Amino acid sequence: MQLIINGATHETDVDEDMPLLWLLRDELQMTGTKFGCGRGLCGACTIHLDGRPVRACLTPASAARGKAVTTIEGLSKNSDHPLQQAWIKHNVPQCGYCQSGQLMSAAALLQDNPNPTDSEIDRAMTGNLCRCGTYPRIKAAIKSAGQFVNAAGGNEDA
């Protein structure tokens, strides 16, 4: 099976029903996407499939065929994505385990809406759990990154 992940073509010989999470982590050694609950409830494994956030633990590898897959490793080359910079500015991570999923959900939101309201942020981030409770900082970082995207006139990666 041929897949395009973070802009690169990967040839894999895995069962098509294998969760995309395990293909990424075990087969391709892309360990930024985390395993959390395995049931799509926590959001730690969030990636983009054609720009839309999906839970990699529930998505079979075959669902990625012919689609663009973006993982946290592909969000930016040098951690310079506006969200990554805002995460640092607002001191978002504590344990950090949920952060790749949080960032990927937030990036999908800002791609569609660079100036989200509090309720739009809440809705987009529902299902991304943070056991450290940094939700206020996450929301502040999303708003901050949105302001940067607005000032820059848009950002394809946001």
User: What is the tally of structural domains in the chain?
Assistant: 2
Of 59, 75, 91, which marks where a domain is finished? 75
Q: One-letter amino acid identity for 49? A: L
Say whether pLDDT at 68 is over 70. Answer: yes
Is 157 a member of any domain? no
Q: Is the residue at 158 inside a domain?
A: no
> Would you say residue 114 lies in a domain?
yes
Range of the domain at 41: 2-75
Q: Which of 56, 52, 51 is nearest to 28 (CA)?
A: 56
Q: 68 with 121, same domain?
A: no
For 141, phi then psi, to 5°, come to -65, -40
- pLDDT digits over 117-154, tens only? 999 999 999 999 999 999 999 999 999 998 876 655 55
CATH number at residue 99: 1.10.150.120
Task: Give domain status of residue 62, yes or no.
Answer: yes
Structure tokens at 72: 């946290």
Residue 42 lies in a domain: yes
pTM of the model: 0.92
Residues 144 and 88 in one domain: yes
